[in-house]
Amino acid sequence: MKPTDSNPWPWETLSSWAWAPAAWRGLAAGVIVWLLLRFLRPPTRPPGYPPGPMVLPLVGNFGLIFVHDIPKAMQKMVKQYGLVCGCYLGSLPMVVVSGYHAVKEALLQNGHKLSDRPPFPLQEALLPGTGILTAPYGEAWKQQRRFALHTMHNFGLGRTVLEDFILQEAQHLMERFPQKGEPFDLHLSMHNAASNVICCLVFGHRFSYDDEMFKKMLRLMERNLEREGNYVGMMCHIFPFIMKLPGPQQELFRNHKELDDFIKEEILQHKKSRQQGKPRDIIDAYLDKIDEKTIVFLNLTSVLNDPEKWETPGEFRPEHFLDEEGHFQKPEAFLPFSAGPRVCLGEALAKMELFLFFTSILQKFQFVWPDPLSKPDLVPVYKGIQVPKPHKIVVHKRVGA
């Protein structure tokens, strides 16, 4: 057979394709180089972006997050770069606003502009588009918040009916105090008491402090809060794909499923026993009704420790809350519940609990530090929020109480 234009010799066909592997390798190498330059190049600070630490490729300023005490790391950055500084969570730009005056301006004068929530992949995976705390700022969030406030008011928030329940819960709490004056850990009992007040509003009943399922749910919530606030949660936000891989992050999803199942069981029981139009709690009320951007981080820790507003920031001094005549006054920089449109939904409830729990307890008991030669360590531990370090305390019943 002779070669023709339509039927070349076999070796001519092979030789015409001999260059292809080299061409593909060259193209692939070019793509890889482009990807490396694209993704391994640190983000470029746009004009006017606040000063901040050096940004690393892919991870941004992950070194700021890979610490056990994020508020302390933030304060360190503020001291070095100023009250308004910029950093990156992975490739997401984040501006940290600190100090009373700057935070107040952001919360109260620009609250509606800064009330949205950034798209955190872990929260989206755990709570996809639901709730109030992490929901995007918009009409749906406003309706949810209005409904929650209205419902909480209907079930006693700000009225004596809820005060009576808190006082009853305070009595249950005091019954847990040891009678022989030995040191004990108050943390779990206080956690139970505060949670029971919320359970009363949401579920319509409280749980015994000895209820094993309730104790387990509290442990799971505390554990998830700690995990979400440390490097495990931050890694999930920066590299969402790791949520699909084995590792410590899977504990978050296991714990969340158990919590979710617990609440679903409560909802199921409510559906079986409720009467339409006669809500007993928040679940019944809901059943009646329901048939790329820059992150702005408002550093409330800096407000609560602003040396311009506090005589001795970082120290426990009741004088911070007293005027010259010894009467109570609220310092303007005391913003533990934030301010503006995103002010904490439970502020009124928390204040009521704090007042009634502690006045009830202090009328009957005296708290004593067990070691007279040492002082309590008031440096908090960061577990998603700042909490006291584990400790034990001694209580003595007051004479005549």
User: Could you tell me if 283 and 203 are in contact, meaning their C-beta atoms sit under 8 angstroms apart?
Assistant: yes
Higher pLDDT, 248 or 140: 248
Can you give the pLDDT at residue 158?
66
Higher pLDDT, 139 or 332: 332
Can you give the pLDDT at residue 379?
82
> For residue 47, what pLDDT band results from cuts at 50, 70 and 90?
confident
- CA dihedral (367, 369, 370, 371) in degrees, to 10, reads -160
Task: For residue 110, give the amino acid letter.
Answer: N
13 has pLDDT over 60 = no
19 has pLDDT over 80 = no
Domain boundaries, the chain: 43-118+293-334, 142-291+337-401
**Most confidently modeled of 6-10, 64-68, 127-131?**
127-131
> For residue 207, what pLDDT band results from cuts at 50, 70 and 90?
very high
**Most confidently modeled of 20-24, 78-82, 156-160, 229-233?**
78-82
The CATH code of the domain at 142-291+337-401 is: 1.10.630.10
Over pLDDT 90: what percentage of the chain?
Answer: 20
Can you give the pLDDT at residue 67?
63
Can you give the pLDDT at residue 23?
57
> For residue 29, what pLDDT band results from cuts at 50, 70 and 90?
low
Over the stretch 79-112, which tens digit does the pLDDT of each residue have?
A: 999 999 988 877 788 888 999 998 888 888 887 7
> For residue 184, what pLDDT band results from cuts at 50, 70 and 90?
confident
pLDDT mean across residues, the chain: 81
Can you give the pLDDT at residue 76?
86
Over the stretch 327-372, which tens digit does the pLDDT of each residue have?
A: 989 888 888 888 887 888 888 888 889 999 999 999 999 989 988 8
